[in-house]
């Protein structure tokens, strides 16, 4: 199975891949026995299919050629059937909030795995930046789960991912002008970079959509509904950041090819890393369907633009596969070195470098002028009031002394310059990582 190139595979005819009801509605997983990373893969692939769906719909809305729109409609119907099949793997007895823990665990471990293998420093820094925010979301939702359901969050994450604060959610609310990165030029970048941008954009977009939908459906408390609203607004920032990295000069058909290639890569990675035999069978069937989509996208690109697939994906052989696994030491290193950062225009910068009239402070003053009204802070306060300290699952004390007090939630770190460590590094590494400057639309970005 090494050196797999989906362009070398013989595709099944597309019309043969429509599914019937017995396939579309699968047996859902057992929430007590299923591995946490199997649940994460299901959330990831649901989000990937969601992106396939909405990319295709927007393509169709901008396409004047009805023959091409019919081809897109065929592909899109199968993406929709795949999404239906995958999303109902979630069992009926798993609550909205339990499922949310999987969303944020996926965000933490997927982002870490992608950041570790990402060759482009702009993209890697973007990943490390949002990593600490999703890590903090996991801590806030876990406290809500413990408080309102009495369920142990450590068990849900399988002990794979630590649960403790990082950049406090209150400090993540930035002015929208500070959410755009320079886009990455596909012609000059590694295939892994193109895949990583597509994968993380779809995953974060799915998280944003999920919170948009479930905030009003959370029926346990107003506090929970308010927390979904708040964290949903941060996911909105994350989607803006990640999608801004996508090459804006690609044509719709080039982008379609890259979308299908990304789906092939993800299902192939899921197939090779899945421990649940039933779910592995689903990944295998989906891979087969995606290989048909990829070949269709390749043919359409040639038919309408006279371009060979190699002009978009020079070598079709997959790079190293994506494997979800624990990243405890990595996350600790990023917390220790970059928690005090924020975004300013298109750069990641230490909070202390902002001028007092920066948009960040203006926006913070509008949203968070009364700290007692901020839901992510209220949740921790409520847990402390009830049980004397916040809920954590940690293998050692927090890397930052500022985040070790379990009896008082930190609401100033990365928000108030005087309360933020000044020795923060920009990218979490000491190596010189400016070599990718030429691959971005604005040249130098992080200094």
Q: Tell the smallest beta-carbon distance from residue 53 to Fe ion (Å).
A: 8
Binding track over 166-205 against Fe ion, x by CB under 5 A? --------------------------------------x-
Measure the CA–CA gap between 84 and 50, rounded to whole angstroms.
10
Residue among 343 and 439 whose Cβ is closer to Fe ion:
343
230 binds Fe ion, rule: CB under 5 A: no
Q: Tell the smallest beta-carbon distance from residue 260 to Fe ion (Å).
A: 5
Measure the CA–CA gap between 47 and 60, rounded to whole angstroms.
20
244 binds Fe ion, rule: CB under 5 A: no
Measure the CA–CA gap between 121 and 436, rounded to whole angstroms.
6
Q: Tell the smallest beta-carbon distance from residue 363 to Fe ion (Å).
A: 18
Token pair belonging to 96: 């909205």
Residue among 79 and 274 whose Cβ is closer to Fe ion:
79
Token pair belonging to 315: 């070598």
Residue among 292 and 346 whose Cβ is closer to Fe ion:
292
CA angle 156, 408, 367 (to 5 degrees): 85
Can you tell me which of 79, 136, 237, 254 binds Fe ion, judged by CB under 5 A?
79
83 binds Fe ion, rule: CB under 5 A: no
**Which range binds Fe ion by CB under 5 A, 174-182, 192-200, 258-266, 413-421?**
258-266
Beta bridge partners of 437: none
238 binds Fe ion, rule: CB under 5 A: yes
Question: DSSP of 163-176, one letter per residue?
Answer: B--SS-GGGG---G
Token pair belonging to 29: 């997983």
Binding track over 33-72 against Fe ion, x by CB under 5 A? ----------------x--x--------------------
CA angle 344, 347, 349 (to 5 degrees): 70
Asked if 116 and 234 count as a contact pair (C-beta separation under 8 A), the reply is no
Residue among 107 and 331 whose Cβ is closer to Fe ion:
107
Asked if 351 and 341 count as a contact pair (C-beta separation under 8 A), the reply is yes
Q: Tell the smallest beta-carbon distance from residue 136 to Fe ion (Å).
A: 8
Indicate the angle between helix axes 222-244 and 375-387, nearest 10 degrees.
Answer: 140
3-state secondary structure labels for all residues of 75-138: HHHHHHHHHHHHHCCCCCCCCHHHHHHHHHHHHHHHHHHHHHHCCCHHHHHHHHHHHHHHHHHH
Q: Tell the smallest beta-carbon distance from residue 423 to Fe ion (Å).
A: 26
- Count of positions on this chain that bind Fe ion (CB under 5 A): 14
Q: Tell the smallest beta-carbon distance from residue 34 to Fe ion (Å).
A: 22
Site for Fe ion, residues 273 to 332, rule: CB under 5 A = 290, 293
Site for Fe ion, residues 110 to 149, rule: CB under 5 A = 134, 137
263 binds Fe ion, rule: CB under 5 A: yes
Residue among 38 and 82 whose Cβ is closer to Fe ion:
82
Interface with Fe ion (CB under 5 A): 49, 52, 79, 82, 107, 134, 137, 204, 235, 238, 260, 263, 290, 293
């Amino acid at each position: 199975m090494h050196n797999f190139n989906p362009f070398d595979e013989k595709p099944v005819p597309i019309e043969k891949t429509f599914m019937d009801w017995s396939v579309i509605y699968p047996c859902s997983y057992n929430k007590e026995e299923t591995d946490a990373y199997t649940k994460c893969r299901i959330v990831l692939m649901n989000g990937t299919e969601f992106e396939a769906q909405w990319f295709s719909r927007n393509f169709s809305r901008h396409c004047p050629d009805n023959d091409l729109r019919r081809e897109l409609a065929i592909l899109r119907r199968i993406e929709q059937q795949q999404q239906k099949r995958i999303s109902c793997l979630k069992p009926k007895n798993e609550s909205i909030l339990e499922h949310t823990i999987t969303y944020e665990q996926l965000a933490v471990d997927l982002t870490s795995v992608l950041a570790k293998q990402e060759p482009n420093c702009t993209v890697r820094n973007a990943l490390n930046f949002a990593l600490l925010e999703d890590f903090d979301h996991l801590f806030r939702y876990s406290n809500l789960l413990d408080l309102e359901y009495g369920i142990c969050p450590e068990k849900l994450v399988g002990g794979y991912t630590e649960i403790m604060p990082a950049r406090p959610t209150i400090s993540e609310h930035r002015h929208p002008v500070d959410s755009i990165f320079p886009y990455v030029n596909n012609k000059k970048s590694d295939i892994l970079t193109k895949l990583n941008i597509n994968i993380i954009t779809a995953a974060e977009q799915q998280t944003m959509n999920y919170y948009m939908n479930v905030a009003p459906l959370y029926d346990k408390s107003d506090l929970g509904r308010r927390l979904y609203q708040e964290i949903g607004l941060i996911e909105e920032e994350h989607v803006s950041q990640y999608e801004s990295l996508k090459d804006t000069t690609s044509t719709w058909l080039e982008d379609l090819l890259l979308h299908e290639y990304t789906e092939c890569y993800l299902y192939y990675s899921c197939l090779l890393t899945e421990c649940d035999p039933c779910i592995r069978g689903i990944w295998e069937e989906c891979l087969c369907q995606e290989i048909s989509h990829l070949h269709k996208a390749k043919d359409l690109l040639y038919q309408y633009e006279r371009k060979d697939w190699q002009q978009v994906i020079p070598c079709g052989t997959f790079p190293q596969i994506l494997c979800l696994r624990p990243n405890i030491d990595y996350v600790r290193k990023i917390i220790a070195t970059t928690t005090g950062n924020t975004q300013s225009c298109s750069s990641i910068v230490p909070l202390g470098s902002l001028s007092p009239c920066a948009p960040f402070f203006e926006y913070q003053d509008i949203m968070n002028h009364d700290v007692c009204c901020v839901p992510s802070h209220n949740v921790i306060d409520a847990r402390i009031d009830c049980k004397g300290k916040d809920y954590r699952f940690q293998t050692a004390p927090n890397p930052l002394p500022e985040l070790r007090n379990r009896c008082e939630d930190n609401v100033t770190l990365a928000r108030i310059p005087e309360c933020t460590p000044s020795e923060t590094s920009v990218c979490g590494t000491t190596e010189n990582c400016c070599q990718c400057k030429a691959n971005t639309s604005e040249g130098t970005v992080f200094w």
